[in-house]
């Protein structure tokens, strides 16, 4: 190499399958890097196809069009500007399809390396569509030997060790790494482990943006051979950052300090993921906006605030659908939330529909008294109302249920579970409360919503209630949320047993009750809308429990007649 080399880290927000758009995006980011004097632009994993492409890779035509997109990008590097390290599905000479990193330089595909370690856990199914590649050697580039490891290849030491032994000067890791809470710290620790083992500096480039339930947070970085973090790009937005390298007298590479954006932490990172996930789901799927039921409760208020922050108040429509059980406080709080957010707000009373259903079903119900049936009819009437407005007016229905409710089945199929997307699907109730307090006190960078409060304080502090019958409270049916949520987190995220939770101080009877509710609600969760993944184990592809499930060892029971054995009717 010459004495100096400038490598740009480009974290794009591609759209899966929208190949022409993705090519244009990469070329725009390359032009930005070129203006900063970059010699090489490193992009994220599978940036040409978007990540994850899932079963699109099984379509030969899709793989062929990805190859054509790569050719277009390669030709662009014939202009004398920076080379590009990109990711794409790539059919090898053996006819198999690989998750590949391709070095484009001088108008051609100069080098190809393929991903070795294909993840096949949690949300990942790469062994389903890709073939694992062989151990790689370095890519020669202008006097530097680039050791390219694709995403999961960094999570274990083998690939880095192979690259170091074969003479790499620098480790480069293109990634499609989904966001979960506190994951950036884990990535940094893995990078430090690989640097320590190999003695080589490392570049880590991650995708940004929402893709269905996944959010990619970007937050790309570079560390020198002493494990010092010299460059840290921002989270949750597209960005191009420059890293500047020079050759030391001993032949190693030195990285100069560059831009360092403090990463979001705690509630800020959760909120950022929710905003980005909703913004991209709505935008990439072509919806004009969202519509949601604004009940006067905290879940719908926070969902509305996220929607306004993501899309702007002009693309959010809220509907209050009161019944005879709706309190005056809820009417005031829903109107107050709508006013603070500046959204369109209407009221559609559901009592006429309730009366009609009661009359229609009276001959079949005979002398049976009111029970949960009438409560569910209210919820389904509201769901039907929102879906009708969505069909007629165009916006997507935004579901407002949280993870605590979805865990224990405290939700109505075809009622409050109606919707195209949910920002609270992976957020427990106690976190909903914390996020609401936080957003009332902070306005994050890059949002479109107002400065100051986004909901009246009473929305946060009043006891939660579905208001489906007189004087109803969530606590009538559920343990208090500060008791329920830690038990759920232990059962779901940590896969703990009853004895483990008892050791943490929880009551065994309550644990067993919560497990029964969790187990019996699986059939409902299978029919829930997609939503932003926040935790290490979100409902959906992260957690695949059978609906028909007689496993009761957690309860200390093997009695097939145990009431927790089957799904609720």
Q: pLDDT tens digit string along 25-46?
A: 999 999 999 999 999 999 999 9
- Annotated catalytic, 493? no
Q: Which of 414, 416, 397, 396 is nearest to 405 (CA)?
A: 416
pLDDT at 557 > cutoff 70: no
Q: Is 124 exposed, middle or buried (0-12, 13-18, 19+ CB in 10 A)?
A: middle
Name the CA radius of gyration of the chain, rounded. 26
| The one catalytic residue among 45, 126, 268, 489 | 45
Q: Which of 513, 522, 521 is nearest to 557 (CA)?
A: 513
| Residues whose CB is less than 8 angstroms from the CB of residue 111 and which lie 6 or more positions away in sequence, other chains included | 102, 103, 139, 140, 141
Are 565 and 550 in contact, with CB atoms under 8 Å apart?
Answer: yes
The residue with tokens 């145990």 is 562
| Rounded Cα–Cα distance for residues 503 and 525 (Å) | 29
| Rounded Cα–Cα distance for residues 423 and 420 (Å) | 10
Q: Is 4 helix (H, G, I), strand (E, B) or coil?
A: strand
| Residues whose CB is less than 8 angstroms from the CB of residue 187 and which lie 6 or more positions away in sequence, other chains included | 177, 204, 206, 219, 221
pLDDT at 155 > cutoff 90: yes
| Rounded Cα–Cα distance for residues 85 and 87 (Å) | 7
pLDDT at 2 > cutoff 70: no
Ranges for all domains in the chain classified under CATH 3.40.50.620: 268-555
| Rounded Cα–Cα distance for residues 206 and 196 (Å) | 21
Kindly state the helix (H) or strand (E) to which residue 13 belongs, with its residue range: none
| Rounded Cα–Cα distance for residues 111 and 301 (Å) | 52
Both tokens of 393, joined, read 């007016």
pLDDT at 564 > cutoff 60: no
Mean pLDDT (the chain) is: 92
Are 191 and 202 in contact, with CB atoms under 8 Å apart?
Answer: yes
For the beta carbon of residue 569, count every other beta carbon within 10 angstroms.
5
Q: Is 39 exposed, middle or buried (0-12, 13-18, 19+ CB in 10 A)?
A: buried
The residue with tokens 């020669």 is 140
| Rounded Cα–Cα distance for residues 349 and 385 (Å) | 10
- Annotated catalytic, 246? no
Kindly state the helix (H) or strand (E) to which residue 206 belongs, with its residue range: strand 202-206
Both tokens of 557, joined, read 């029971």
What confidence score (pLDDT) does residue 123 get?
Answer: 81
| The one catalytic residue among 66, 151, 162, 318 | 151
| The one catalytic residue among 47, 66, 115, 524 | 115
What confidence score (pLDDT) does residue 545 get?
Answer: 85
| Rounded Cα–Cα distance for residues 510 and 518 (Å) | 12
What are the CA-CA distances from residue 393 to residues 237, 337, 539 (Å)?
31, 22, 30
Both tokens of 59, joined, read 């379509």
pLDDT at 105 > cutoff 50: yes
Residue pLDDT, tens place only, 165-199: 999 999 999 999 999 988 889 999 999 999 999 99
Are 4 and 245 in contact, with CB atoms under 8 Å apart?
Answer: yes
Q: Which stretches does DSSP call E strand in 330-400?
A: 344-347, 396-399
- Annotated catalytic, 115? yes
Is residue 536 very low, low, confident or very high in pLDDT (cuts 50, 70, 90)?
confident
pLDDT at 236 > cutoff 70: yes
| Residues whose CB is less than 8 angstroms from the CB of residue 109 and which lie 6 or more positions away in sequence, other chains included | 70, 71, 74, 102, 103
Ranges for all domains in the chain classified under CATH 3.60.110.10: 4-263
Residue pLDDT, tens place only, 64-104: 999 999 999 999 999 999 999 999 999 999 999 999 999 99
- Domain 4-263, second-level architecture: 4-Layer Sandwich (3.60)
| Rounded Cα–Cα distance for residues 563 and 569 (Å) | 12
Q: What homologous superfamily is domain 268-555 in, according to CATH?
A: HUPs (3.40.50.620)
DSSP string, 256-282: ----BPPPP-THHHHHHHHHHHHHHHH
Q: What is the percent of the chain where pLDDT is above 90?
A: 82
């Amino acid at each position: 190499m010459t004495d100096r080399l400038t490598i740009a880290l480009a974290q794009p927000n591609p759209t899966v399958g929208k190949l022409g758009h993705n090519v244009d995006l990469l070329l725009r980011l390359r032009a930005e890097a070129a203006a900063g004097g970059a010699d090489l632009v490193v992009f994220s994993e599978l940036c040409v196809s978007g990540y994850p492409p899932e079963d699109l890779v099984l379509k030969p035509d899709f793989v062929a069009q990805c190859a054509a997109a790569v050719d277009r990008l390669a030709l662009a590097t014939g202009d004398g500007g920076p080379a590009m390290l990109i990711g794409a599905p790539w059919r090898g000479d053996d006819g198999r399809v690989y998750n590949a990193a391709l070095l484009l330089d001088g108008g051609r595909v100069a080098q190809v390396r393929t991903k070795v370690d294909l993840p096949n856990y949690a949300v990942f199914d790469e062994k389903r569509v890709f073939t694992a590649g062989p151990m790689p050697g370095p890519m020669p580039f202008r006097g530097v030997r680039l050791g390219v490891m694709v995403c999961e290849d960094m999570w274990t030491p083998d690939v880095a060790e192979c690259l170091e032994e074969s003479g790499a000067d620098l480790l480069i890791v293109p990634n499609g790494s989904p966001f979960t809470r506190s994951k950036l710290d884990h990535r940094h620790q893995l990078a430090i482990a690989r640097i320590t083992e190999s003695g080589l500096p490392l570049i880590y480039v991650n995708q940004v943006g929402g893709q269905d339930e996944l959010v990619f947070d970007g937050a790309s970085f570079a560390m020198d051979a002493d494990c010092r973090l010299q460059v840290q790009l921002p989270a949750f937005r597209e960005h191009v950052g420059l890293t500047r390298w020079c050759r030391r007298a001993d032949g190693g590479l030195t990285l100069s300090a560059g831009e360092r954006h403090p990463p979001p932490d705690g509630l800020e990172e959760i909120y950022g993921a929710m905003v980005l996930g909703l913004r991209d789901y709505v935008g990439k799927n072509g919806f004009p906006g969202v519509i949601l039921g604004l009940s006067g409760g905290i879940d719908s208020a926070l969902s509305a605030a996220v929607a306004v922050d993501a899309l702007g108040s002009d693309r959010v429509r809220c509907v209050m659908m009161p019944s005879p059980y709706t309190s005056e406080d809820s009417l005031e709080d829903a109107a107050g939330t709508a006013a603070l957010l500046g959204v369109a707000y209407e009221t559609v009373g559901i009592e006429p529909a309730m009366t009609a259903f009661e009359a229609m079903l009276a001959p079949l119900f005979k002398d049976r008294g009111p029970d949960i049936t009438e409560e569910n009819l209210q919820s389904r009437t509201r769901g039907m109302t929102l879906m009708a407005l969505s069909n007629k007016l165009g916006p997507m229905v935004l579901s407002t249920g949280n993870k605590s409710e979805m865990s224990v089945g405290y939700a109505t199929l075809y009622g409050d579970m109606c919707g195209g997307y949910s920002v609270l699907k992976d957020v427990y109730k106690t976190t909903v409360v914390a996020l609401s307090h936080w957003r009332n006190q902070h306005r994050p960078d890059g949002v479109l919503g107002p400065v100051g409060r986004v909901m009246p304080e009473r929305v946060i502090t009043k006891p939660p209630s579905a208001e489906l019958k007189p004087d109803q409270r969530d606590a009538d049916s559920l343990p208090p949320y500060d008791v329920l949520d830690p038990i759920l987190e232990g059962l779901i995220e940590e896969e703990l047993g009853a004895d483990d939770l008892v050791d943490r101080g929880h009551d065994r009877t309550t644990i067993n009750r919560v497990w029964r509710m969790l187990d019996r609600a699986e059939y409902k969760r299978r029919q829930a809308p997609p939503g932003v993944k926040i935790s290490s184990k979100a409902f959906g592809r992260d957690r695949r429990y059978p609906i028909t499930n007689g496993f009761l060892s957690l309860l200390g029971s093997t009695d097939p007649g145990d009431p927790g054995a089957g799904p609720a009717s």
